[in-house]
Structure 1
Amino acid sequence: MRLLDAKRLEIFVRTVEAGSVTAAADELSYTVSAVSQQLHRLELELGHSLLQRQSRGVIPTEAGMMLANHARKILRQMDATRADLDDLAAGKSGSLVVGAFPTVAASFLPLVIETFTSQYPSVDLSIRSARIDTLIAELERGSTQMSLLWDHPWRPISVEGITIDELFREPFVILVSKNHRLARASEVQMKDLADETWVVRADAHPVVEVLDRAATSAGFRPSIAMYANDYQEAQAMVSAGIGVAMAPTGAVTLRHPGVRSLSLGDEAPVRRILVGQRDERVGSSAEIALRRALFDTAKGMVPS
């Protein structure tokens, strides 16, 4: 079998994801004829039918699905290689692009940046805040040199080709209104909250699973009063007495004046704050320095 052509693989993946040859041609600014020709050549090279034509487009065959999965990985690796070589050619060793998720970008990361930039003021540092699936994809493509990630101890994250190290663990806390019966307490147990209504994050946010697990362990199912779009909205609703809420510590660094934060003590669920980098990447001096700043700052965070 001859070596596969990268552009041909890209055309195939775009066609699978777009669901039609015409849509793929539009995305790639090719003619429909050119895309069809490249797909036909790919099928001849591999000796397999890769796409099944339907009245409204195409779907991959079993062989096509297998090729698409492998091709996506190959294309991400090629993007990452180009990014590394571009950095080298452009002399960008003094430039860093770091991925982060919103709550850590609003709490832990500013402390790291303050330390890092005071020591390395000439480094051009950029931050990309996104959901975790996007953060991982950008790491794989080489769009970011490192990224802050998170997981829970009961479901540790693992990504082929990415080295992941734990920075620290942060506990979840309970948020109540300043007028709540428990507002003067510093610590509470989940069983004390069995009769409460809850404000949780919308769109199947991970905090919903954390709450469900904690409540189940305490012998009750939480009654949901509202699904909030973000933690600021959740805090506002808690302050108004709509319900109580659970949140990771880093999500409530900026606390609503009408809200009190209560510890769950030893029974508090935790999430792990992580740093990820591609296995094969050789870090620049700026990356090494930033990684050191991450771990140095993490030493001052809440211990597990």
Structure 2
Amino acid sequence: MLDVRRVLLLVEAAERGSLTAAAEALMITPSAASQQMSRLESEVGQPLLYRLPRGVQLTDAGRALAERGRAIRRELRGAQADLDSLATLDEGTLRLGSFPTAGASLLPLALTRFSRKHPGIRTTVRSALFADLVDLLHTGEVELAMLWDYDWNRVDDASLVVDHLLDDPTVLVVPANSELLEEDSIGLADLAGHQWIIRADNHPVAEVLRRSCRLAGFEPIISYESHDYQEAQAMVAAGLGIAIAPRLALTNRRHDVRLVNFATDVPAPTRRILLARPANRTPTPAAAAMADVLHAVSQKFTDTNLHLTQLGTVRARSSG
């Protein structure tokens, strides 16, 4: 196998007419250049240069190899240009994983900001359940994934680097004309006699409801199992029951329901929104840039209470 660096030395010598000039161009000493050329000639088994009193002249073998060397140099320069473009975020692809409620709240703003700053980057998003998102990270099918957890099921995976983006509190969903809106404060224990709309198929928020109600001393009475949050809101609006949900899941709030914060002295469970990446892979420049954007967007949601004003969350007595 030929040493590429020696072949490139031959190209420089051919173009500059001397080993000394080639050595200067490649920032090595003339003696090192002479040694490397001798080794290249040994590798190919024939002379490549005629050493003249002033400079060098290529043999037929030298001309043939130098021509190949120029093609190699072009490819290497092209490869460097590609890498520079990726490093400067002029082009490339970013693969993200997410889940529906993040995809309906945080992610659109983050994607818009990212695409404005880095229009040359193509972004793809895979929406999946928690376990599938972790698998996608492990297989490398996504570079970053937004995850979530609660106190009782913290993400504990040494193969992942996990950053906390924000806390997403649980809120109560009630009809717009609910008497509960007249209460000074609401705790789960106050809701023992109500019927509940719950998420179907062992959805995480169903576990949140059951755990929370049991801690409050009662078993929830389930009147309907919904398959998405819009359906749950519709059933609440129809008077079939009340519901709980993470606040970010209610970006598209119906006009005929209200969201109520639980009493601060008996807070409902809060889920953490997380950003994860494989621990054994260095983030690409695009992934690192998206992580910064997601942190900034999450901070905006937290600092300005944007989610509260957009979602129409009310405190007791604020809407009748």
Task: Give the distance between the partners of 2:184 and 2:258, measured in 1 at CA.
Answer: 9
Aligned residue number for residue 284 of structure 1 = 284
Aligned residue number for residue 127 of structure 1 = 125
Aligned residue number for residue 244 of structure 2 = 246
What displacement does 1:301 show? 2.6
Stretch moving more, 196-205 or 209-218: 209-218
Aligned residue number for residue 216 of structure 2 = 218
Aligned residue number for residue 255 of structure 1 = 253
Task: Give the distance between the partners of 1:283 and 1:205, measured in 2 at CA.
Answer: 31
CA shift digits 1:78-100 (9 cap, x unpaired) = xxxxxxxxx98xx7962101000
- Conservation of the 8 A alpha-carbon contact between 1:186 and 1:263: no
Partner SS for 1:271 = strand
Partner SS for 1:138 = helix
Task: Give the distance between the partners of 1:233 and 1:155, measured in 2 at CA.
Answer: 27
- Conservation of the 8 A alpha-carbon contact between 1:186 and 1:262: no
What displacement does 1:302 show? 3.5
Task: Give the distance between the partners of 2:297 and 2:229, measured in 1 at CA.
Answer: 24
What code does the residue aligned with 1:287 have?
A
Task: Give the distance between the partners of 2:94 and 2:182, measured in 1 at CA.
Answer: 45
Partner SS for 1:121 = coil
What code does the residue aligned with 2:124 have?
S
**Residue of structure 1 aligned with 2:134, choices 128, 136, 156:** 136
Change in CA separation of 1:121 and 1:187 when aligned onto 2, cut-off 3 Å: farther
Aligned residue number for residue 297 of structure 1 = 297
1:209 aligns with 2:201: no
Stretch moving more, 158-167 or 189-198: 158-167
Is the radius of gyration larger for structure 1 or structure 2?
A: 2
Match runs of 1:31-70 below 5 Å:
none
Partner SS for 2:241 = coil
Which runs of 5 or more structure 1 residues have no equivalent in the other structure? 1-86
**Residue of structure 2 aligned with 1:199, choices 193, 197, 203:** 197
What code does the residue aligned with 2:152 have?
W
Q: Give the TM-score normalised by structure 2.
A: 0.64
What displacement does 1:187 show? 4.9
Task: Give the distance between the partners of 2:112 and 2:106, measured in 1 at CA.
Answer: 11
CA shift digits 1:102-126 (9 cap, x unpaired) = 0110011112112211111111011
What code does the residue aligned with 1:246 have?
I
Aligned residue number for residue 155 of structure 1 = 153
Task: Give the distance between the partners of 1:228 and 1:186, measured in 2 at CA.
Answer: 29
Aligned residue number for residue 98 of structure 2 = 100
Partner SS for 1:301 = helix
CA shift digits 1:276-304 (9 cap, x unpaired) = 1011112221111101111111112337x
Task: Give the distance between the partners of 2:162 and 2:238, measured in 1 at CA.
Answer: 40
* Pairwise CA RMSD: 2.1
Q: Give the TM-score normalised by structure 1.
A: 0.67
Aligned residue number for residue 273 of structure 1 = 273
Aligned residue number for residue 171 of structure 1 = 169
CA shift digits 1:20-49 (9 cap, x unpaired) = xxxxxxxxxxxxxxxxxxxxxxxxxxxxxx
Change in CA separation of 1:105 and 1:166 when aligned onto 2, cut-off 3 Å: same
What displacement does 1:185 show? 5.3
- Conservation of the 8 A alpha-carbon contact between 1:175 and 1:244: yes
Number of residue pairs the alignment of both structures matches: 216
Task: Give the distance between the partners of 2:108 and 2:181, measured in 1 at CA.
Answer: 30
Q: Which runs of 4+ in 1 moved over 6 A?
A: none
Which runs of 5 or more structure 2 residues have no equivalent in the other structure? 1-81, 304-320
Task: Give the distance between the partners of 1:209 and 1:185, measured in 2 at CA.
Answer: 26
